[in-house]
Structure 1
Amino acid sequence: MKVLHRYVAAEILTSTVFALVAFLSLFAFFDLIAELPRVGRGSYELQHAFLYVAMNLPAYVYDLMPIAALIGTIYTLAQLAARSEFTIMRASGLSTGMAGWMLARVGIVLVLVTFLFGEFIAPASSEYAEKFRLAAQESSISREFRSGLWTKDVIRSEGMTGENIGSRFLNVGNVTPDGQLRRLKVYEFDRDMQLRAVITAGHADYRGNNVWRFVDVAETSFAPKGSDLAEVVSSRKHATYDVVSEITPEILSVLVVDPERMSALSLATYTRHLEDNSQNAERYEIAFWKKLFYPLAVMVMMALALPFAYLHFRSGGVSLKIFIGVMIGVSFQLINSLFSHIGLLNTWPPVATALLPSVLFLLVAMGALAWVQKH
């Protein structure tokens, strides 16, 4: 039985890798076509476009692994059924449970590979790819708003610890690819939301340990109510000015990479930051739970492929089964994305929003398996 498991596992892995390479080639071609209009901006040349597309491939490996596993498994099982090998296996005592466990062992390997790409390789490569393109185009990162990026922070009595003594609203004109903040305006309020200070700076660099060093600073301070009129407003300039903030380059990386491309750790950090500042974090919570559950979709897709082994060759050729597999995989991706938007609009629990598509397709797989066994 071990020899049989190794044989089937090798066939499935080979077919999955082949399907994955085919999909990656297709998506890389489309991405390269989309990049061509950007060639010529700044120093962004054709070779930079090729590198940018290549650096985004790990993200596609993560996205496409469930579909590749589905197609690879369907192809392998359909070939085994076409050659009557699967019939011989069943006659030799291979039960449905044993066949499922045989696929599950391969699925565990693919789940681990998917998690590795989704948590470590793809986030780093996607972030670096965006920074690489911005640097080559001699551009910078900014929000859709004309006023630039806005973010909120908490002021504490002892830097990162101690009592909450106020709020800080940070406006950044743009962010360079190397993480430097330019054209800053900071509005600091006390706990009663009374304006205490307005700080402007030419740029700011991150010094580590939650410290930003503002350069070319102008500070205007406002005294509390009841102060002497002569002391209500005071202004001074600083060559440099250090600000302790919960905002870090990791949090600002949200500007560079979509939530779906971030690691679970980065999503958890940014979600906690938004919650601490009483901001809506639901989109990032959904992305976080999807990041945790998505690798398990590989197992669900392989479970969907198992019923195809019980269909005789006359029930449909291998090409037809692969086509059905492609449609199932595309449907899963569409429903998975649709549920994210519906869950966000209807304020569904993030865990349920992320898990429901996989549960639905698992139920379909169980129903299909029961049907083919009965008929």
Structure 2
Amino acid sequence: MRTVRRLLYADVLGAVAFVATAFLALFFFIDFVEEMGDVGQGAYRARHAALYCLLELPGHFYELFPIAVLIGTIYAMARLAQSSEFTILRTGGLGPGRALWLLALLGLAFGALTFVVGDYVGPYFDAKAQALRSSLRGDAAGNSGNGAWLRDRRIAGPDEQPAGERTDSVNIGNVGTDGRLDNVRIYEFGTNGELLARISARSAQVHEGSWLLQDVQLTRWRAGEGHALPPDERLTALTWPTQLSPAVVDAAVSPLQSMSTVDLYRYQSHLAQNEQAVQRQQIQFWKKALYPLACLVMVGLALPFAYLHARSGGVSVKVFGGILLGISFVLLNNVSTHLGLLRDWTPWIAAAAPSAFYLLLSMAAFSWLVRFR
């Protein structure tokens, strides 16, 4: 069995690596051609564009790897079937259950690799790429335009009047390359929803339990009277107490697609605790959490191709069929997300439906081929 495992795994790993490399080379070329339009801005040169595109490759790898697994595994299985090697393996004792178990283990390994790249490697290199691009082009902010609204609930401090629970609405203009928040506005509301204070700050540094605001303009209102207390206060710095942690702020200003599973969980938990709309973030969390298992689904889809006789079609035809299956999986995955938002489906069902459908489809095809072919 060790020899069978080595033969099977060597063929599948070689084919998957080849397909993944081809995909990454194609996307590197497309990204590089697109980046050439920005060459010449500031100190941004062609070599920097090439480096930027290289740093973006882990993110592309995460998105494309399940499809590469599908196409590579189909190619390996179809080639073994065409050369009758798989028939010899079956004659030598490789039953359907054992073949499925061997590929399932490989699919789990592919899924673990996808998880590591998507949660750790991809975001790290993507941040490096954005910092490189913005610094060389002379952008003022690495995430310019990526503002956000946040809500926080807290108990008023001993020096704050009136006492009781406060609801703070925070608007962030954009985020600087060093993590500094620019153009911050904070609106403090009392227990009955009355506006108590408005804080405008040129910038803010986020710390655990408090923010350090710089160049602050503070306006307060008398509770229940609806007018400001003149004059407005202008402060060089102000420490503002809050439960908005650096992790929550980073999640709020980052695109959902680039966030890790842990960050998505923290962010959607924060939104739920503050009674904010959370359906979109919950669906994205479940998609991120379940996406590595797509590799297991892909090897399940590929296994039935090993039981097709060579005269049922050449390797190229089967690979083309695999490409169509991969495209349909991506389309259904995207459609399921939008339908989940429109129909208010349970988030984990909306995220898991495409993978569950294709897994059932692959097992049905596998069972039929084993029984009747």
TM-score by length of 2: 0.91
- Deviation of 1:255 after TM superposition, in Å, equals 6.0
Show the counterpart of 2:106: 106
Shift of 1:54: 1.4
> CA contact under 8 A between 2:62 and 2:118: conserved in structure 1?
yes
- Secondary structure of 1:224's counterpart equals coil
Q: Distance in 2 between matches of 1:154 and 1:79?
A: 61
Match of 2:366 among 340, 364, 369: 369
Structure 1 pair 64–133 and aligned structure 2 pair: CA distance change class (3 A)? same
Partner of 2:149: 150
Of residues 49-58 and 217-226 in structure 1, the stretch that sits farther from structure 2 once superposed is: 217-226
Aligned to 1:27: 27
Question: Which amino acid is 1:17 matched to?
Answer: A
Alignment partner of 1:225 is 2:224: yes
Question: Which position in structure 2 is the counterpart of 1:42?
Answer: 42
Contact 1:126/1:257, CA 8 A, preserved across alignment:
no
Q: Does 124-133 or 92-101 show the bigger shift?
A: 124-133
SS at match of 1:239: strand
- Would you say how many aligned residue pairs link Structure 1 and Structure 2? 366
C-alpha distance after superposition, 1:268-307 (max 9, x if no partner)? 1111222222211111111111111111111111011111
Do the aligned partners of 2:208 and 2:246 also contact (CA within 8 Å) in 1?
no
Aligned to 1:116: 116
- CA–CA distance in 1 between the matches of 2:242 and 2:300? 48
Superposed counterparts of 1:1-375, under 5 Å: 1-139=1-139, 140=141, 141-143=143-145, 149-157=148-156, 165-206=165-206, 208-225=207-224, 232-233=229-230, 235-254=232-251, 257-373=254-370, 374-375=372-373
Matched letter for residue 318 of structure 2: K
* RMSD of aligned Cα (Å): 2.3
Task: Verify the 8 A CA contact 1:154 1:164 in the aligned structure 2.
Answer: no
Contact 1:127 1:256 in 2 (8 A): no
CA distance in 2: counterparts of 1:335 and 1:164, whole angstroms: 49
Cα distance in structure 1, aligned partners of 2:356 and 2:157? 47
The 3 A distance-change label for structure 1 pair 158 and 311 is farther
Gaps of 5+ in 2: none
Displacement of 1:362: 0.8
Per the TM alignment, residue 45 of structure 1 is displaced from its structure 2 partner at its CA by: 2.5
How many angstroms apart in 2 are the aligned matches of 1:154 and 1:125?
A: 34
Q: Give the direction of change, closer, same or farther, for the CA distance of 1:158–1:100 in structure 2 (3 Å limit).
A: farther
Q: Which amino acid aligns with 2:324?
A: M
SS in 2 for 1:185: strand
Q: Is the 8 A contact 2:148 2:252 kept in 1?
A: no
The amino acid that maps onto 1:170 is: V
Tell me the CA shift for residue 345 of structure 1.
1.4
1:256, distance to aligned residue in structure 2 (A)? 5.8
Given residue 124 of structure 2, which amino acid in structure 1 is its aligned partner?
A
* Contact preservation (8 Å) 1:220, 1:235: yes
Using the size of structure 1 for normalisation, the TM-score is: 0.90
Percent identity among equivalent residues?
38
1:58 Cα shift? Answer: 1.1
Q: Distance in 2 between matches of 1:54 and 1:288?
A: 27
Q: Is the Cα–Cα contact under 8 Å of residues 293 and 354 in structure 1 kept in the other structure? A: yes
Q: Which moved more, 1:304-313 or 1:275-284?
A: 275-284
**48 and 261 in structure 1: CA distance in 2 versus 1, 3 angstrom threshold:** same
CA distance in 1, matches of 2:113, 2:277: 32
The 8 Å contact of residues 155 and 245 in structure 1, kept in 2 or not, is answered as yes
* Cα 1:142/1:190, change in 2 over 3 Å: farther
Q: CA deviation at 1:164?
A: 6.8
SS at match of 2:127: helix
Summarize the Cα distance change of 1:106–1:172 in structure 2 as closer, same or farther, 3 Å threshold. Answer: closer
Aligned-pair distance for 1:370? Answer: 2.6
Matched-pair contact (CA < 8 Å) for 2:144–2:175: yes
Code of the residue aligned with 1:83 in structure 2: it is S
The Cα shift of 1:349 comes to: 0.8
Change (3 A) 1:36 1:240: same
SS for the counterpart of 1:56 is helix
Letter matched to residue 108 of structure 1: L
Aligned counterparts of 2:286 and 2:179: Cα–Cα separation in 1: 27
